[in-house]
A and B are shown apart, each in its own frame.
Chain A
Amino acid sequence: MIDTPVIEDAAPSTTPSRRLRRRGDGKLAVGAVIVGLFVLAALFAPLITSGHPAEQDLLNRLAPPSRAHVLGTDQLGRDEWTRLVYAIRIDLRVAVLGSLIPAVLGSLIGIAAGLGSKWLDAAIMRTSDIVVSLPLFIFFIALVGLLGPGTGFLFLGPGELPLIIGFTVISWVVYARLLRSEVRRVRSMDYIRAARLGGLPRRRVIAWHIVPNAIGQSIVYFFVDVGLAVVAISTLSFLGVGIPVGTPEWGSMIQSGRGVIQTNWWLIAAPGAAIALIGMGLALIGDGLDDRIKS
């Protein structure tokens, strides 16, 4: 019955969280490198490509990869690598705007629902229920197919504005619900009551306490959402209702490469890999941040 007791010291209890943080940092680093390379490539596109993405070399169509054309050329003799790099500009621009606008809008709506009257809250929540239950991508195909891609807007090219509007309609719900529940949670907490009793005006209380608490999760979701938007942009463009064919965009490039899948498979493989890679990079950043917040 007698044995020497094992007494644990306090030190081991700190290791798991440290290990967790290290794991999150690994994902963050890999994700940041991937996304960073894409952003740099987009910024310095003229320096790392041979020329203009629309420049045709009709004598040199469907050429295999060579020193002059790293990824070969497409049916019109355009350099695939150049188009691939210039596509980052379009895909990332639309994806970031299509995620940023719903993030801001949704957050504001969520805060309004959390702080507003019961009636306003119910109206917003019911609306979000309906939005979630509708087949919005199908509606998008129907609407943009019938309306056409448009001619562009300000600095946006053809087809970009409908995508951004579509993503806004679809994505605001997540942020609205997140912010609403966060506002409700924080509002019921003691220190907010204390802060109010201490004479802080309402707006200051929100600014100081609620927003910083919710912003972490929103940022995590934002990164994932940008990645999902890239996939959605290319998918809709592939279906013919996103960025018009001919524009250097990954989904359209895959669509125009499908006819030569047997011989020039890289015309399909390369843009798809680019979509998957940047999406995963953004997801890794999001997941790494999530690990960090949780540890």
Chain B
Amino acid sequence: MVAMRTVLARLIQLVLVLLAVTLVVFVLTQIAPGDAARLRLGPRASPEAVSELRHQLGLDRSLPHQYLDYVTRVLHGDFGTSIDGQSVSDIIGRRIGDTLWLLLGTLVLAVTTSLVLAWTAAWFRDRPVDHVIRLGVLLALFLPAFWVGFLLIRLVAIPTGWFPVADLGSSPAELLRSLVLPSVTGAIILTPVLVRSLRSSLIDVLDSEYIAVARSLGVGGPTLIVRHVLRNALGPVLTLLALNVGYLFFGVVILEATFNIAGLGSALVEASAKRDVYTVQGITLLFATGVVLANILGETAVSLLDPRTART
């Protein structure tokens, strides 16, 4: 019952935040110079044709009216058409797969690496290993990801021929192979952000009295690590990940641009270079929704995972 109510409250919150996000996206695109109709038809179109298209697109109505139109269309799954006449929903549908694979690859690799590094640092805290990990992680924050990607392409992919340098593969084996270098690069973006706080949450758990109690009873090895330490560190890890989803999305945009992958990120970059307002609007809204959803999912998961707040 209580859990149901929490989820309901979160859903209402989701709707409100999404409304706010559409407003932000709408305003962002309103500030953009130039007229959408004029951009579409080109500079040589007749003024009649332009005003005809303006009317068709609803650009001749008042701003609040346009916003309402926009929200209504979005609710019906209609994100408009791109400059070259494709449906934005179709573009998104075609491109979202690769982006999700990149997100997954980066997350898996980054979380594993971060856990190993944070665990090692926490376990050997204030000893040389810890100092080396902490300094290394701090410095890794300043490696430009696209540069690392190019180095990997030049030093690994090209000489060995093991990994493709553009696009994701279609068969499972090829897909996995093509995900390796982007995921490594993605992990280099995300890991430095995670390790520091992960280390301190792990230290909190490791230093807790209940871990001393478990150890005093002879609990050790994998049981201690998984059931006692990681289970209690799961909440902070999820919170941390949810907080960094926006940064992760930015990372995926960089990955797609570096490795020539036709996902949502490169679509966004291409569309914004072409001043393709509706495509930019659609993809930005999608990313923003992803961030908001991830935050709400994270919060809900954390409160459901903690028996003190879940009360099932």
Contacts and interface: CB of A to CB of B under 8 A. Distances in A.
Interface of A: 27, 130, 132-139, 141-148, 227-228, 230-231, 234-235, 238-241, 250-251, 254, 258, 261-262, 265, 268-269, 271-272, 275-276, 279-280, 282-284, 287
Given A135-B288, A136-B246, 7 more contacts: A135-B246, A137-B250, A145-B268, A146-B277, A231-B141, A231-B144, A261-B158
Of residues A135, A265, A272, which shows the largest number of chain B Cβ atoms within 10 Å of its Cβ?
A: A135
Contacts of A147: 31-33
Nearest to B266: A239
Nearest to B286: A138
B246 A138 contact: yes
A239 B280 contact: no
B154 A143 contact: no
Contacts of B142: 227-228, 230-231, 275-276, 279-280, 282-283
The 7 closest A-B pairs by CB, nearest first: A145-B272, A279-B142, A272-B147, A146-B32, A135-B246, A137-B250, A142-B284
B12 interface: no
B270 to A, nearest CB: 9
B243 A143 contact: no
B105 to A, nearest CB: 19
Contacts of B288: 134-135, 138-139
A279 B148 CA distance: 15
B246 A240 contact: no
Nearest to B147: A272
A239 B254 contact: yes
Contacts of B281: 142
Main SS class of interface, A: helix
A240 B153 contact: no
B280 A268 contact: no
A135 B287 contact: yes
A238 B150 CA distance: 12
Contacts of A251: 144, 146
B150 A275 contact: no
A268 B250 contact: no
Given A147-B33, A234-B144, A235-B145, A272 B151 contact: yes
Contact of A141 (B21, B146, B158, B268): B268
A87 B141 CA distance: 21
Given A138-B250, A261-B153, A240 B269 contact: yes
A27 to B, nearest CB: 8
B28 interface: yes
B247 interface: yes
A134 B145 CA distance: 21
Contacts of A145: 268-269, 271-273, 275, 280
Nearest to B143: A276
Interface string B135-179: 100110111111110110110001000000000000000000000
Given A135-B250, A138-B253, A138-B284, A262 B268 contact: no
B29 interface: yes
Given A135-B249, A279-B142, A261 B154 contact: yes
B206 interface: no
Contacts of B29: 142, 146
A50 to B, nearest CB: 25
A142 B276 CA distance: 10
Given A146-B32, A231-B142, A272 B287 contact: no
27 contacts: A27-B135, A132-B243, A133-B243, A134-B291, A135-B246, A135-B288, A138-B246, A139-B288, A141-B269, A142-B268, A142-B281, A145-B271, A146-B29, A146-B31, A147-B33, A227-B141, A227-B142, A228-B142, A235-B145, A235-B254, A238-B144, A240-B273, A251-B144, A258-B150, A261-B150, A268-B154, A279-B142
B13 to A, nearest CB: 12
Nearest to B145: A235
Nearest to A130: B20
Given A133-B246, A146-B32, A275 B269 contact: no
Contacts of B246: 133-138
A136 B28 CA distance: 12
A138 B249 contact: yes
A84 to B, nearest CB: 14
B24 interface: yes
A190 B144 CA distance: 47
A276 B138 CA distance: 12
B87 to A, nearest CB: 19
A231 B138 CA distance: 13
A211 B306 CA distance: 39
B25 to A, nearest CB: 8
A141 B279 CA distance: 13
A191 B25 CA distance: 48
Contacts of B290: 135
Contact of A283 (B138, B147, B148, B271): B138
A98 B271 CA distance: 26
B185 to A, nearest CB: 12
Interface string B106-144: 000000000000000000000000000001001101111
A74 to B, nearest CB: 15
A27 B245 CA distance: 32
A99 to B, nearest CB: 14
Nearest to A283: B138
